[in-house]
């Protein structure tokens, strides 16, 4: 059975009272009916008082403009006057229609995303992609116009393969972008769908999109606020603003509050904001902000602004820089290669100069194809996707692949406190009561909605003899508007407890604490908790203590109380509230043994000191008191006789005076498990963590010190609130952050975004974590936005690039380690691919300059770049992270992807690759005596082969060999007859690049980091060699690729030319190691010298 506190009714007007007909009807007992009548009369009284006081405290009689930004500064009377509306009659239907035309619908517009065609075109903006596209088009045109080529199929292979690669990359890019643009659409889900408004003197239910400024809206517990409103009247209202402000508990509202100047969202106690939720109580307000003029609309605009910045990840920036540099080098080499062969345009073999120019232009195109690592985009995407899969197993879900690498260079994590560092569930963690002249405290175990937690130092016998704890339990049960229910099977359960809280987080924590106490009651079987009924212990107190009346919470006395009548006894007043305020109204205390004695100044001071200690631990303390003797007038009073007290708020404090203090509980939003260790790991990794929260400064600082985010004895410069941050100039903000400011309290969405902007101005790589709507704009603006998967709102998730499936801050540290490892792997396969491509460029350029026949065709180059290189490059992405990778400082955002010694190594290795490829080609023509019987020639003949048409065809220059007939046409020896030489060059290039992949395994020697450390690389090398063997020894593939089988004798020469690349790279690794040691030694000596000074 679900027990739910009844809703009270309004007495504002016949129209307004109709709203509560939609609420569950209260119990039909005379007690409950009269109780509701009394609460209604309170509402009438408070309404009359509010109008009177507002007339006295209003800011101006004739305000020029009132909107959502400044409505909190004006009295209700002024706001109603400005919008020309009677709160009991509302707008007329005609006026509502006119205002809808004027102000527009109460909706958040969503800018249409780019069209499919626009997204496809965006994928071709990369300069390397454009060069490849031009090369493909030129190759296709040449193949189309070439009427003399014997193998037309081979001519079309190159452009078709390039085009297929570009199309595949474009499809992948468009797919990723289509998945990522949902954040603004998710905002629409936060807006309420229906609203209760007074129009034309009648209460009506309208679509929230039809709300207009000036509408009178009526709300009750459980309702979602449909627009920004200035409150007119409230009754015991609590509002959950956590998704908007980050506050960890529901807040009270006061329409009578007179505010001045700029206020934070948290301080606007006389306002309600769109998307927040009424947890308890009732309210009436006037709409002052709709659609994009609401606070939710501002957040939407901030998200759009963050999108417009068009930020790139550090990896994307480095690849763009690399691509631009490489493209200029490619163009220069291609043009140079074409021009240096100008004299060869006129060689007889070409027939005419035009054909000669086209021939060398094709070589230039081959140079472009050779220089551009076609497989690089695919390899990077595959590598990042593999990392994404590994991270998913560790509960980190990546929404954008490039974000994986961005984590690796993160220097600052801006983390929301509520729901990120803490569990976002208020929990009673300490209970205190009086024992003689001292205060006894017991720690309470279990977090959030865990009903099984133990209370330290308590057993069933001790509980039975502790009257103070029993009275505290009664107050938790009866002086409480919250209730717990079991979640039906199949419904969403965010924390896995199977329990749902209805009401405020603070009162809910008392209900959970009550159930924990019930386990120690001898009258109950502890095995029944919480399996039978999540409110089993509450039911006992409800049955034994029928409710007579409530004195709702007011901000002036900071407490609430209820009057109950235990069976067969007099009325008792049960109080809960701020301990300091209760102590002032108490004259006695009740000890654990039931003894009641005077509350002396000494004991009061002891209690206050204990509460102060608890507050330093981020506890929100809530005191309990009881008043048994209320005088003969009220000890037997029924509901009707209590009207004078219940209906007059001014009498509450006096009625509650001379009470007996029982004790207090400490409530807090506990820190997540392992968060402290994760923060320590961040510190060791050189990552600064900044905590951001909407809570007050004291709570934020206490949590920060508990988690060692700041030292226990740190000064005030480490803390800052939103207002203070707002008043600083850009330079001053940077100065404060450099000085160590790491805890920001009372922060609004705009402050989070400004903080991210400031950090980016400092060249920091910023990660922003959060779970609420208020985090979305900053999450989107940061380099890497991280949201919570369990407790995060849809807006935060869709704005983020990384989602923590377990809401665990520790998962971020694992993701950062993965990101650092993936960057090292990306550099490894870029080093591998680029050094190999440099070798191809050197081979083609030198061939062109020396005037050799074409050593490698474009098809050969594509085969090497896409097939044989692709597998090892991808396998390098499986390199395990190097030891101590999380003990290094993050790399700088401006660190070059390729620079210094790395670039030198590229060119040295690449040059050797190119020379070895040409050398084996020359070796076959000039020195390699094989059984095929081919004719050996001189270097001069090889370099002047283009003059072969002028050679005497009657004199047999070359003998026929294998299946090649070259004796009648000497030119055939350098065209079709070069198949074996080209095959040797291609095979040397493939094998040498396999050895080069081994070199790229680590910056350490292969003797230190052996090849089998990465089993995937071993398998990839084996597969690449196998694929190459296929094209060598399968006849159909022979023809397509223009190659021939090799003998074992020829394979020996291949290995002889290839293996030295291992020795060469090992030598350079040794040199680099010696240089690093020298630098480290010099730095240590400099540090010692500075310390000595």
Tell me which residues are annotated as active site.
416
String of DSSP letters for 850-886: HTPPPSS-HHHHHIIIIIITHHHHHHGGGPPPPTTGG
Give whole-number Cα distances, 111 to 116, 605, 676, in Å.
15, 60, 41
Beta pairing class for 620-627 and 659-668: antiparallel
- DSSP category for residue 221: T
Query: Using an 8 Å Cβ cutoff, are 1029 and 1046 in contact?
Result: no
E strands, 410-558, in order: 412-416, 427-435, 438-443, 483-486, 499-502, 547-554
Quick one: which H or E segment has residue 615?
A: helix 601-616
What is the radius of gyration, based on Cα positions, of the chain?
A: 39
Query: Using an 8 Å Cβ cutoff, are 183 and 113 in contact?
Result: no
Q: CA–CA separation, 886 vs 896, rounded Å?
A: 21
Instruction: Identify which of 113, 251, 240, 246 has the alpha carbon closest to the alpha carbon of residue 182.
Output: 113
Using CA of residue 703, residue 706, residue 711, residue 713, what is the dihedral sign? positive
Write the CB contacts of 955 (distance below 8 Å, at least 6 apart in sequence): none
Query: Using an 8 Å Cβ cutoff, are 210 and 291 in contact?
Result: no
Q: CA–CA separation, 317 vs 631, rounded Å?
A: 79
Write the CB contacts of 562 (distance below 8 Å, at least 6 apart in sequence): 478, 479, 547, 548, 549, 550, 551, 573, 574
Instruction: Identify which of 945, 885, 406 has the alpha carbon closest to the alpha carbon of residue 684.
Output: 885
Q: CA–CA separation, 246 vs 228, rounded Å?
A: 18
Instruction: Identify which of 836, 828, 843 has the alpha carbon closest to the alpha carbon of residue 917.
Output: 843
Tally of residues, the chain? 1093
Q: CA–CA separation, 885 vs 827, rounded Å?
A: 15
Q: CA–CA separation, 109 vs 121, rounded Å?
A: 26
Q: CA–CA separation, 756 vs 426, rounded Å?
A: 29
Beta pairing class for 271-272 and 483-486: unpaired
String of DSSP letters for 165-209: HHHHHHHHHHHHHHHH--HHHHHHHHS-SEEEEEETTEEEEEEGG
Beta-bridged to residue 219, according to DSSP, are 283
Instruction: Identify which of 852, 846, 476 has the alpha carbon closest to the alpha carbon of residue 663.
Output: 476
Instruction: Identify which of 936, 933, 927 has the alpha carbon closest to the alpha carbon of residue 961.
Output: 933
Peptide bond into 767 cis (omega under 30): no
Q: CA–CA separation, 933 vs 1053, rounded Å?
A: 17
- Structure-block tokens of residue 556: 């002036």
Write the CB contacts of 675 (distance below 8 Å, at least 6 apart in sequence): 421, 707, 809, 810
Q: Give the SS3 label for residue 262.
A: coil
Alpha helices in 927-1001 (DSSP H): 939-943, 979-999
Q: CA–CA separation, 315 vs 380, rounded Å?
A: 10
- DSSP category for residue 418: I
């Amino acid at each position: 059975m679900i027990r739910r506190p009844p809703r009270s009714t309004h007495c504002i007007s016949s129209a307004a009272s109709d709203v509560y007909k939609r609420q569950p009807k209260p119990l039909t007992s005379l007690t409950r009916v009269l109780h509701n009548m009394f609460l209604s009369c309170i509402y009438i009284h408070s309404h009359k008082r509010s109008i009177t006081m507002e007339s006295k405290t209003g800011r101006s009689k004739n305000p020029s403009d009132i909107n959502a930004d400044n409505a909190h500064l004006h009295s209700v009377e002024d706001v109603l006057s400005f919008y020309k509306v009677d709160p009991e009659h509302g707008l007329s239907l005609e006026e509502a229609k006119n205002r809808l035309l004027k102000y527009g619908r109460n909706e958040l517009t969503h800018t249409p995303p780019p069209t499919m065609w626009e997204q496809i075109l965006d994928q071709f903006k990369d300069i390397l992609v454009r060069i490849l596209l031009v090369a493909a088009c030129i190759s296709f045109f040449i193949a189309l116009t070439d009427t003399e080529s014997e193998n037309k199929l081979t001519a079309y292979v190159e452009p078709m393969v390039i085009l297929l690669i570009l199309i595949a990359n474009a499809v992948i890019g468009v797919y990723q972008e289509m998945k990522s643009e949902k954040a603004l659409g998710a905002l629409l889900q936060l807006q309420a769908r229906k609203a209760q408004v007074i129009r034309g003197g009648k209460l009506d239910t309208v679509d929230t999109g039809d709300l207009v400024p000036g509408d009178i809206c009526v709300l009750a517990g459980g309702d979602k606020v449909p627009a920004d409103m200035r409150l007119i009247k409230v009754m015991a209202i609590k509002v959950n603003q956590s998704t908007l402000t980050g506050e960890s508990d529901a807040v009270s509202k006061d329409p009578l509050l007179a505010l001045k100047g700029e206020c934070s969202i948290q301080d606007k106690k006389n306002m309600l904001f769109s998307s927040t939720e009424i947890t308890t109580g009732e309210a009436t307000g006037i709409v002052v902000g709709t659609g994009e003029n609401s606070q939710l609309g501002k957040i939407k605009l901030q998200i759009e602004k963050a999108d417009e910045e068009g930020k790139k990840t550090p990896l994307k920036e480095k690849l763009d820089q690399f691509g631009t540099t490489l493209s200029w080098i490619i163009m220069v080499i291609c043009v140079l290669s074409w021009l240096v062969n100008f004299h060869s345009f006129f060689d007889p073999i070409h027939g005419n100069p035009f054909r000669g120019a086209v021939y060398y232009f094709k070589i230039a195109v081959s140079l472009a194809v050779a220089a551009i690592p076609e497989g690089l985009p695919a390899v990077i995407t595959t590598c990042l996707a593999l990392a994404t899969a590994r991270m998913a197993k560790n509960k980190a879900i990546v929404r954008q692949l490039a974000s994986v690498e961005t984590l690796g260079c993160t220097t600052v994590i801006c983390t929301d406190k509520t729901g990120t560092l803490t569990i976002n569930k208020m929990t009673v963690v300490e209970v205190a009561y009086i024992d003689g002249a001292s205060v006894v405290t017991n720690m309470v175990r279990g977090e959030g909605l865990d009903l099984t937690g133990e209370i330290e130092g308590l057993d069933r016998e001790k509980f039975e003899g502790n009257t103070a704890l029993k009275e505290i339990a009664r107050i938790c049960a009866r002086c409480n508007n919250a209730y717990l229910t079991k979640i039906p099977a199949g419904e969403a359960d965010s924390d896995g407890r199977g329990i749902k809280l209805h009401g405020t987080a603070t009162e809910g924590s008392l209900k959970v604490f009550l159930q924990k106490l019930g386990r120690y009651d001898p009258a109950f079987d502890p095995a029944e908790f919480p399996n039978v009924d999540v409110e089993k212990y509450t039911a006992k107190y409800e049955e034994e203590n029928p409710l007579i009346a409530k004195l709702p919470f007011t901000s002036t006395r900071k407490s609430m109380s209820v009057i109950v009548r235990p069976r067969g006894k007099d009325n008792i007043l049960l109080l809960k509230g701020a301990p300091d305020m209760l102590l002032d109204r108490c004259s006695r205390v009740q000890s654990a043994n039931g003894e009641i004695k005077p509350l002396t100044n000494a004991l009061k001071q002891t209690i206050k000191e204990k509460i102060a200690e608890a507050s330093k631990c981020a506890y929100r303390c809530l005191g309990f008191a009881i008043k048994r003797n209320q005088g003969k007038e009220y000890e037997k009073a029924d509901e009707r006789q209590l009207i004078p007290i219940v209906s007059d708020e001014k009498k509450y404090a006096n009625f509650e005076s001379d009470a007996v203090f029982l004790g207090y509980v400490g409530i807090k939003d506990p820190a997540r498990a392992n968060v402290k260790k994760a923060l320590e790991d961040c510190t060791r990794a050189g990552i600064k963590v900044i905590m951001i929260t909407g809570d007050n400064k004291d709570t934020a600082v206490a949590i920060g010190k508990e988690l060692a985010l700041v030292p226990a004895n740190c000064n005030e410069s480490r803390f800052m609130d939103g207002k203070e941050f707002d008043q600083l100039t850009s330079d001053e903000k940077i100065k404060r952050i450099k000085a160590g400011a790491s805890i920001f309290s009372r922060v609004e969405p705009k402050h989070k975004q400004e903080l991210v902007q400031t950090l980016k101005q400092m060249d920091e790589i910023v990660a922003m974590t959060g779970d609420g709507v208020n985090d979305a704009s900053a999450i989107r603006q940061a380099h890497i936005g991280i949201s919570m998967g369990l407790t995060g709102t849809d807006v935060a998730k869709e704005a983020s690039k990384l989602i923590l499936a377990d809401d665990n801050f520790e998962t971020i540290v694992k993701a950062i380690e993965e990101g650092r490892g993936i960057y090292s792997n990306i550099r490894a396969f870029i080093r591998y691919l680029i050094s190999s491509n440099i070798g191809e460029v050197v081979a083609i350029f030198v061939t062109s300059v020396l005037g050799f026949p074409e050593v490698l065709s474009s098809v050969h180059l594509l085969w090497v770049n896409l097939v044989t290189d692709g597998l090892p490059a991808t396998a390098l992405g499986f390199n395990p992270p190097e030891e101590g990778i999380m003990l290094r400082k993050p790399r700088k955002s401006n660190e070059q992807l390729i620079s210094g010694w790395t670039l030198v190594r590229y060119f040295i290795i690449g040059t050797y690759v190119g020379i070895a490829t040409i050398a084996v080609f020359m070796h076959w023509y000039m020195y390699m005596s094989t059984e095929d019987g081919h004719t050996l020639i001189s270097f001069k003949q090889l370099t002047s082969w283009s003059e072969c048409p002028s050679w005497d065809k009657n004199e047999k220059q070359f003998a026929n060999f294998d299946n090649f007939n070259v004796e009648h046409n000497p030119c055939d020896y350098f065209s079709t007859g070069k198949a074996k030489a080209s095959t040797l060059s291609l095979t040397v290039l493939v094998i040498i690049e396999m050895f080069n992949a081994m070199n790229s395994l680590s910056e350490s020697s292969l003797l230190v980091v052996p090849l089998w450390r990465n089993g995937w690389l071993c398998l990839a090398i084996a597969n690449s060699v196998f694929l190459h063997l296929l094209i060598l020894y399968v006849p159909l593939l022979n023809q397509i690729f223009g190659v021939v089988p090799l003998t074992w004798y020829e394979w020996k020469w291949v290995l002889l030319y290839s293996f030295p690349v291992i020795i060469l790279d090992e030598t350079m690794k040794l040199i680099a190691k010696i240089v690093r040691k020298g630098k480290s030694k010099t730095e240590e000596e400099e540090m010692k010298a500075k310390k000595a000074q």
